[in-house]
Structures are given as C-alpha cells and as structure tokens.
Amino acid sequence: MEQEIKTNSAPLKKRRSITKTDVLQFLLRGRAFIALILVLVVFSFLTPQFMTPNNLVIMSKQVAIRALLAIGMTFVILTGGIDLSVGSIVGMIAMIAGGLINEGINLPQLGVIIYPHTWMIILISLALGTLTGAFVGLIITRYNVAPFIATLGMFYVARGIAGLRNNGYTFPNLVGRPEYGNTGFEILGAGSFLGITYSIWLMVILMLAAYIVTTRTPFGRHVYAIGGNERAAELSGVRVSRTKIIVYSISGFCSALVGLIVASQLVAAHPLTGESYELTAIAAVVLGGTSLSGGRGSIGGTLIGAFVIGVLNVGLVMMGVSSFWQKVITGSVIVLAVIIDQVQARMQEQIALQQQQDMK
Amino acid sequence: MPDATPVLDPRPETALNEMNDVIMSAQSITKVFPGTVALDDVTFNVRRGKVNVLIGENGAGKSTLMKILAGVEQPTSGKILLEGEEIRLHSPLDATRLGIGIIYQELNLCLNLSVVDNIFLARETTRNGIIAQKFQKQRARELVTRLEQNIDPDALVGDLRIGKQQIVEIAKALTQDVRILIMDEPTSALSAAEVEVLFRVIRELKSHGVTIIYISHKLEELLQIGDHITVLRDGHKVAEEAASHVSVPWMVEKMVGRNPAALFTRKERPLGDVLLKVENLTLPRKGGGYLLDYVSFELRKGEILGFYGLMGAGRSDLVDCLAGARPQATGKIWIDGKPVAAKTISERIEAGFVLVPEDRQSDGLVQPLSVMDNMLLASLKKYLKGVFLARKQEKQAADQQIRELSIRVANPQQPITSLSGGNQQKVVVAKGLLTRPKVLLLDEPTRGIDVGAKSEISEIMSQLAAQNYGVIFVSSELKEILAMSDRILVMSKGAITGEFTHREATEEKLVVASAVGHGPSSNGGTHHGTGN
C-alpha cells in the first residue's frame, strides 16, 4: 500500500482513498437512520409482536407527540438557543383547555358563564401557547437574557400555572356537554382519517411545513444564519431579534398543540401533563444530528431522532425491560450519538488535511 | 423580478465628475471607547464616483470610521451628511437602505451556509414566500463569474479558503443596490491575480457612478486604484490629497509621523546563547495550503525577535503553535538545546513558553475577575498552601508585578475592566511573567492602546530582554517593529520571506518582503527565500 503511493500512481491512490473515506462518511452521516433501522430490526427479532400493525400505530402515536415538540425545538436549537419550557407549556395548555371545557369562562360581573365551542377552545389554547413562546422570545432578545435562563423561568412559571388552574386537581372527563355545544374534544386524540390518527397526520403536516420553511424560505435561512454566525447575520441585515421571537413562538405553538393532543387522548387534563417532555424533545433533536451550538441540523434528522427514541421506549417496554434500565439505555444512546457526531467532524477535518498533504 | 444588479445599470445622471462633488461627509466625528479615543474630531469627505482611499496605521481609527459610516457603531459626537442632508445610522440596516454597502475587514460570513445562501442572506429573492433557489444560484454564478472566479455556489463557505471567502464577501456586497461601497482591506487575503480582478470590478463600478471608500495597507496598490487619499494617524486626520499628487514615501511619512522612533527605547545588548530553535514548524490550513509553511529560526537569550507581515501572513499562528495552542502543528522545537516534547498549553508553559495573545479582551483576560486574580490565573500552582491558595503570597506576587511594570491601579482587587487598555495589557504581560517563562511570545502587544502606553510596553520589553528572557514580538506597525527588534523576520503566506538585523532593516525592505507572493512580480516562487 505504501508503495502504491510512492510510485505516484495517482488514479490508484485516488480511487482507494475515495472508497475508504466515502463508505465511512456515508455510514457516519446516515447514522441516525441506520440506528433507527437497527433498533427496528433488533426489536422485531426479540419481540415477535413488535412489528404488528397495531403496535406500529401505538408507537407512531407516541412518536408523534415527541416529534411535534421536537419540531419547535429544532428551530430554537438551530438558532443556537434552547427551550426548557415546552413540557410545562404542554401542561399549562392542557389545564387551560380542560378548564375551558369543564368550567367555561366565568364572568361573575355579568353573572354569566360562557362555554366556548370546541374549535374556539382549540384556537384559544394554540394562541396562548404561541404567545407564551413569543413572550419568552421577547425576554431573551429585549433584555438579553440567556435562553437557558429565560426558558428555565418559564419552565417553573407555566408548571405553576398548570397547578394553580385547578388547585392541583385534574380536570376529568373532558367530553363537554351537548347542551353547551362544546362536545367533541376527544376526537382530536382518538379520531382518525384513512385509518391513521389525527396526531400522526398533524405530525406529518407540520414536519412537511417545517421542512419547507427551513430549507426553502428566507426565514429558515435566517434561522441557520443566526446559529452559524449571529454577528454576520445581523450585519447582513437579518432581523435577528424578530427571527428569534418567531422561533420561540413556533416552539410555544408546538407545545400547545401537544398539550391539546395529550389532554384529548386521556380525555383529562392533569397538572403534571408533559413533565420532562422538554428533555425528550432535546434528545430527539440532538440525536437527529442538530448541533447544540446552532447553525447545523435538519428537520428530517429530528424526525428520525424522535423515531429512534420512541421505538427504543416502546420496544424496551414490550421486552419487559425495567423503566430504570430504559433510562440508562436511552441516556447512553443520546451521548453515544453526540460522540459519534464529534468523531465524524474530527475525521472529516483529518481527511481534508491528509488530502492536502498528499497534494503537496 | 427584483433588480439585484444595480451595478450593471448605467447611470448617466452621475456623469458630472466634479472633483469636489461630495456625496457623503462625516463631520467632526469623535468616537470614545472605554480607555481610548479611537477618533478625535475627524472630518472625512467622500467624493462622488471616486475611489476614496483611507490610510493609516493599525489603530489609527480607519475601521472605526468605516463602522460608523456603515451604521455598526454610533459616533460619540459629530454628524454624517449624505447628499447634504444629515442622516442617522442606528443599524447596518439603515445604511443598507440608504445605499451604503460595506465589505468588512473581518470576514462576516456564515460558515455553515452555502456560497449562494451567504450572498443573498437577508436579501433573498422569493416567489410566493419560497426562495427562488434556481434564480439565486444563477445570479450567484454570474456574480462569481464576473469576479472571474470558479466557485461552486453550493459549496459551504466554511470549506473555502480565505481568499475565496473574501470573493464571496465581495459578491455579497455587489448584490445590494449600493451608491456607496465601503471596502475595508478587501485585498488582504487575495492573490495578485485576484487583486487585478477586483480592481477591474472597482473600475467598472466607478464607471456606473458607484462611489467607493477603500482601505488598505498596501500602499502601491492604493496609487493604482485610488483617486483621493485621506490619512488618519492616532485618531486624527492628518492629510487629504488627490492621489495624483502623492507618492509612497509621502503616505508613509503622513501615516507614521515625523519622529516615530523617539517613542521607543531600545538599548544595544549583548546576546546570549541560542535559547530557542525551531525547525520546519508546519501547520496545514483547513481547505488547502499552509498557515505555516516549514518555518525554521533561532532565538537567543536576551534577544527581541520581531515578526512582521501582513494580516494572515501566519505570525499569530506561529506564536500560537509555540504556545501549544495548535495541536495539529508539526515540527521540531528545542529550548536550551533540549528538544521540547510538551504538546498541550499547560505543558508548554511548564517548558517555559508563555503567550500574550493578540486579542486581549477575548483571549487574554477573564473580565469578571479582579486585576490580581487575572494576574495569577496562569501560575496558581505556585501559590498553594496544602490544597488551599495562599492569599498572602498571591497578594505579594501581584503587588510586586504592579510595582515592576508600573501598572496603575488603586487596588489589586479592582475589576480588570476598570483599567485602561494599556494597563490591562500590562496585567496580561504580568500574568505571563508570573509563570517564570524563558520565551515570551507577544502577539501585537501594543494593539489598541494609546501612544504613552505603547512606549511603556516597549520599555518593559527592553527590560525583560536585559534580564535574559527571549522575546518574540509580533507587530503590524512598521515603526514599532523597526525600533524595538534586535532582529526582524518577515512572513508572507505562512513562510519566512525576509530576515534583517536591526541595522539592516528599513521600512521599505520589510514592506517588500511582506508582499512576497502577493505582488505581480512574484508568483509564490520565492518561498523559503530570505530577503537579505
């Protein structure tokens, strides 16, 4: 091998280096996808009922919730930020929506209680979630508060509001009453179209929308630019603050949507709904290859990341692995993914340098 | 289709080419930064349809003035007139709206985005809210072709070499509807051929009525392209003249002032044995070429060895390598005749190297810490009692350094940020000295500090050399490096291109050697040569 190089047979050398590096690069780049296939194969061997249609639907429903949160989180992380508040916003919105269904809007001054239509409740909830995100974004940009701190604050505040809404109690039986015209909330979680539940449709639609926004619109480009070099983006005329506020609003919107879906699936709103969801969302994004320092990553990667975590969870449960071991395994997989990420980056650099040396 | 090529529109109305037709004027601009006055009552007239050249040494205030004209910085006092009307620029966006474009000295690109994405950043062409990728790519290809370059619009900017990145930066400015285009050292990273192309583009822009403000250190280049020359020195405007009336010596004299050497103290000292020997130090550049191209040299005890060169010549990379900050570097190093095996920064400090970095704020100081804590950061191990820090000894050491370097502080516990630039720099030097080094690596130690402090730093360097330290001293200021160094090595494109003793060295020789590989006469074939 050494001799081949020294005899300066350029074509030979070239071909050899291409095959070697390309295969490795391909494996490393597609690692999330490969990991997904790997876990699917392993689980279908270990548990025969894993690949049944019924189970796949259950799994997809689980994945949908994580994936929806991870969409918003991807936008935030691409700008170099982080959103710790999403799980709490899920809980807060679930409680607000539950309260609107069961108790309506009480206006004691007028002596009336208004029961909004289910559609109205959904719109109010989504708007509130989006505004919460916008508020966090405003604090981050206007007062130059670190995203970690601002969203940590909202993490506590939103969870507190979720508890306050009904003094820590659950809103049960969120079916509404025909005489108030607010029935049908449970359809969001249980209903389906072409045999596929709404939550999965929502995931598909939002994933597609997010994919187009990140890859084909100026806004998406600005998100990447801010994460890559905020100063350069600003000097180029990108409205950095506005872009960031929108990004956190998207995350708030996704959280609200998940809050509604979860409450609807359970037909109940519990103050602790969505606890620690922010961490699974971050895990999905990171597993999907998005860099926590921003500017690098994709929605497609996030989708795969969400699936890996979802499949891992469902599969481990079906195998009867204890929940403690599940945590150990999930955590290890996340860290391993990031280590591979770093190894790949270093390898790429070394390959580039090696090629230069050869050229010299 | 939005018109993204204003520069191609003929503008007959600007055919009136009066010499004193001022399109933009910065009047009595003063800009104060904490610890230093960057601009002091500077008036700068920009003539319509001309190449308005601004020259001055590093720290003279050129870049600050440009940033004010581009809306990045706001002046402390003074006003800006555009077409005779006062304008206020609160952000780069305001300047862009008024047709003022800027190509920054530090490349301001998003390395994670492609060439086309960078060129159109914040100016995307869209159809129904979707970026017209094909159209943009086509336009990017046209722009790049116009700059006579072969750059793939889909390539990641981070994968391009610096020169190509500079081309992208220029292409980006050309997409704007500019009336006035500011170019802050656009050629510092370009090859001779690329500079020729840039000049053609500048002439073309001029013929379409675009006004250019041009900053460069390469004086010969300025005479080729410039129409009007304004000279800044230490934040003051010292001269303004038509380019046809000036020569290189005139520019040097105006930039440097009458008697530059008087500021610096240097005594002839006997040199000791060889302290440091470096052989074939090499550092490859990501994306092609070398940051350090087989560099070899020696340093004697008590010697001040100056490194001169243009921006990006590899001088900072060299001192970084010696300090252990670049693990990718290869080559051999001996100190006191013994090979240095140490790789990491802390091991190199043990071995006797210490770096006073170029960027004092981001690499030299920990802002939230006090003067004393900053000073002791690199040598805490020396002030331990058991596992605890011995505050008393720490205080003594800090007090001693404050005395010896005459650092002006009321109290060593004072926040570091309350000091002037010059005194902050002395704290960084003190931090280095407390590690008990053998070789002191000073990277632009007088950058951004006032004249008095410069003189003090030079005094300190002389004293240290007299105490048998070996001092390696990187500077971009000709007068300073000529006055201070016992010997000067000039670098260009990662290689040493000239070596001069204190007696031999002249500004001219240094400038010539620093341009090796840049100028039209040399095509990079003079690597490894010495300019003696």
pLDDT in tens, B445-501: 887 676 677 788 888 888 888 888 999 999 887 878 888 899 999 998 889 999 999
**B117:A225 CB<8 A:** yes
Which residue in the set B104, B108, B121 is minimally distant from A221, CB to CB? B121
Going from the C-alpha of A154 to that of each of A138, A151, A272, B96, B279, the distances in angstroms are: 12, 5, 15, 37, 57
What 8-state DSSP symbol labels residue B295?
Answer: E
Residue whose token pair is 């009595």: B28
Which stretches of chain A drop beneath a pLDDT of 70? 1-22, 24-29, 31, 352-360
* Secondary structure of B70-81 in HEC code, one letter for each residue: CCCCCCCEEEEE
Q: What values do phi and psi take at B80, rounded to 5?
A: -120, 130
Given the DSSP bridges, would you call strands B36-47 and A196-197 parallel, antiparallel or unpaired? unpaired
* Other beta carbons less than 10 A from residue B131's beta carbon: 21
Q: Nearest-CA neighbor of A184 among A94, A101, A274?
A: A101
**A216:B133 CB<8 A:** yes
3-state helix, strand, coil in chain A (%, to 5): 75, 5, 20
Which residue in the set A217, A228, A352 is minimally distant from B111, CB to CB? A228
3-class secondary structure, A102: helix
**B131:A217 CB<8 A:** yes
**A217:B289 CB<8 A:** no
Q: What values do phi and psi take at B473, rounded to 5?
A: -135, 115
Residue of A nearest to B93 (CA): A237
> Nearest CA to CA, how far is B147 from chain A (Å)?
20
> Nearest CA to CA, how far is A321 from chain B (Å)?
41
Residue of A nearest to B101 (CA): A236
Looking at the complex, does the CB of residue B328 fall below 8 Å from at least one CB of chain A?
Answer: yes
Q: Which residues contact A198 (CB under 8 A, 6 or more apart)?
A: A187, A188, A189, A191, A192, A261
In a mutagenesis test of the B interface, which of A235, A293, A298, A359 is the best target, namely the one with the most B β-carbons within 10 Å? A235
Residue of B nearest to A360 (CA): B289
**Residues forming CATH 3.40.50.300 domain(s) in chain B:** 6-107+178-258, 259-352+437-532
In a mutagenesis test of the B interface, which of A236, A298, A354 is the best target, namely the one with the most B β-carbons within 10 Å? A236
B92 interaction partners in chain A (CB closer than 8 Å): 234-237
Check residue B12 and give its pLDDT: 41
Check residue B58 and give its pLDDT: 63
3-class secondary structure, A163: helix
Residue of A nearest to B158 (CA): A228
CB B326 within 8 A of CB B317: yes
Q: Does ipTM surpass 0.85 in this model?
A: no
Q: Nearest-CA neighbor of A71 among A243, A277, A345?
A: A277
pLDDT tens for A274-301 read: 998 999 999 999 888 888 888 888 999 9
**A225:B110 CB<8 A:** yes
Looking at the complex, does the CB of residue A222 fall below 8 Å from at least one CB of chain B?
Answer: yes
Looking at the complex, does the CB of residue B330 fall below 8 Å from at least one CB of chain A?
Answer: no
CB A56 within 8 A of CB A235: no
Beta partners for B299? Answer: B276
**B130:A349 CB<8 A:** no
B134 interaction partners in chain A (CB closer than 8 Å): none
In a mutagenesis test of the B interface, which of A214, A229, A239 is the best target, namely the one with the most B β-carbons within 10 Å? A229
| Fold classified for B6-107+178-258 | Rossmann fold (3.40.50)
**A218:B122 CB<8 A:** yes
**A233:B129 CB<8 A:** no
Measured between alpha carbons, how far is A172 from A190 in angstroms, rounded to an integer?
A: 16
Measured between alpha carbons, how far is B264 from A119 in angstroms, rounded to an integer?
A: 79
Check residue A10 and give its pLDDT: 39
Looking at the complex, does the CB of residue A345 fall below 8 Å from at least one CB of chain B?
Answer: no
Which residue in the set B112, B284, B328 is minimally distant from A295, CB to CB? B112
* Core vs surface per residue A63-92: b (16+ CB within 10 A) or e: bbbbbbbbbbbbbbbbbbbbbbbbbbbbbb
CB A221 within 8 A of CB B124: yes
**A212:B130 CB<8 A:** yes
**B96:A237 CB<8 A:** yes
Measured between alpha carbons, how far is A263 from A100 in angstroms, rounded to an integer?
A: 12
Residue whose token pair is 């003094």: A167
Check residue B523 and give its pLDDT: 38
Which residue in the set A218, A231, A357 is minimally distant from B131, CB to CB? A218
A216 interaction partners in chain B (CB closer than 8 Å): 130-131, 133
Residue of A nearest to B285 (CA): A353
Measured between alpha carbons, how far is B43 from B235 in angstroms, rounded to an integer?
A: 11
> Nearest CA to CA, how far is B430 from chain A (Å)?
32
**B284:A356 CB<8 A:** yes
Q: Determine the straight-line distance between the first and last CA of chain A, rounded to whole angstroms.
A: 19
Half-sphere exposure of A312 (CA within 13 A, CB side): 26
CB B498 within 8 A of CB B510: yes
Q: Maximum Cα–Cα distance for chain B, whole Å? A: 81
In a mutagenesis test of the A interface, which of B100, B112, B124, B292 is the best target, namely the one with the most A β-carbons within 10 Å? B112
Q: What values do phi and psi take at B300, rounded to 5?
A: -100, 165
With vertex at residue A282, the alpha carbon angle to CA A279 and CA A288, rounded to the nearest 5 degrees, is 140
Given the DSSP bridges, would you call strands B495-501 and B487-492 parallel, antiparallel or unpaired? antiparallel
The domain ranges of chain A are 32-321
Which stretches of chain B drop beneath a pLDDT of 50? 1-19, 519-532
Going from the C-alpha of A146 to that of each of A71, A139, A277, B299, the distances in angstroms are: 21, 9, 21, 47
Q: Which residues contact A360 (CB under 8 A, 6 or more apart)?
A: none
Looking at the complex, does the CB of residue A233 fall below 8 Å from at least one CB of chain B?
Answer: yes
Q: What values do phi and psi take at B102, rounded to 5?
A: -140, 140
- For residue B47, the surrounding DSSP H or E stretch is strand B36-47
**B109:A357 CB<8 A:** no
Going from the C-alpha of B319 to that of each of A33, B315, B443, B449, the distances in angstroms are: 44, 7, 7, 21
Looking at the complex, does the CB of residue B92 fall below 8 Å from at least one CB of chain A?
Answer: yes
Looking at the complex, does the CB of residue B425 fall below 8 Å from at least one CB of chain A?
Answer: no
Looking at the complex, does the CB of residue A230 fall below 8 Å from at least one CB of chain B?
Answer: no
Counting one residue from chain A and one from chain B, the pairs whose CB atoms sit within 8 A come to 81
Q: Which residues contact B279 (CB under 8 A, 6 or more apart)?
A: B296, B331, B332, B333
In chain A, residues 275-334 whose CB comes closer than 8 Å to chain B: 295-296
CB A176 within 8 A of CB A118: yes
* Secondary structure of A292-327 in HEC code, one letter for each residue: CCCCCCCHHHHHHHHHHHHHHHHHHHHCCCCHHHHH
A233 interaction partners in chain B (CB closer than 8 Å): 110, 121-122
pLDDT tens for A18-71 read: 556 667 666 666 767 777 888 888 888 888 888 788 888 888 888 899 999 999
Looking at the complex, does the CB of residue A242 fall below 8 Å from at least one CB of chain B?
Answer: no
B328 interaction partners in chain A (CB closer than 8 Å): 353
> Nearest CA to CA, how far is A230 from chain B (Å)?
8
3-class secondary structure, B230: strand
Phi and psi based region of residue A217 (left: phi greater than 0; alpha: psi -120 to 50; beta: remaining): beta
Which residue in the set A218, A229, A232 is minimally distant from B124, CB to CB? A218
Q: Nearest-CA neighbor of A76 among A287, A235, A297, A274?
A: A297
Measured between alpha carbons, how far is B288 from B291 in angstroms, rounded to an integer?
A: 9
What 8-state DSSP symbol labels residue B415?
Answer: B
Check residue A259 and give its pLDDT: 95
Tokens at B227, concatenated: 């129409």
Give one DSSP letter per residue of B306-374, joined into a string: EEEE-TTSSHHHHHHHHHT--TT-EEEEEETTEEP---SHHHHHHHTEEEE-S-IIIII--TTSBHHHH
Phi and psi based region of residue B78 (left: phi greater than 0; alpha: psi -120 to 50; beta: remaining): left
Given the DSSP bridges, would you call strands B274-284 and B330-335 parallel, antiparallel or unpaired? antiparallel
Looking at the complex, does the CB of residue A167 fall below 8 Å from at least one CB of chain B?
Answer: no
A224 interaction partners in chain B (CB closer than 8 Å): 110, 112-113, 117
Q: What values do phi and psi take at B30, rounded to 5?
A: -125, 135
Tokens at B520, concatenated: 């039209």
* Other beta carbons less than 10 A from residue B423's beta carbon: 21
The CATH architecture that domain B259-352+437-532 belongs to is: 3-Layer(aba) Sandwich (3.40)
| Fold classified for A32-321 | ABC transporter involved in vitamin B12 uptake, BtuC (1.10.3470)
**A352:B117 CB<8 A:** no
Measured between alpha carbons, how far is A83 from A140 in angstroms, rounded to an integer?
A: 11
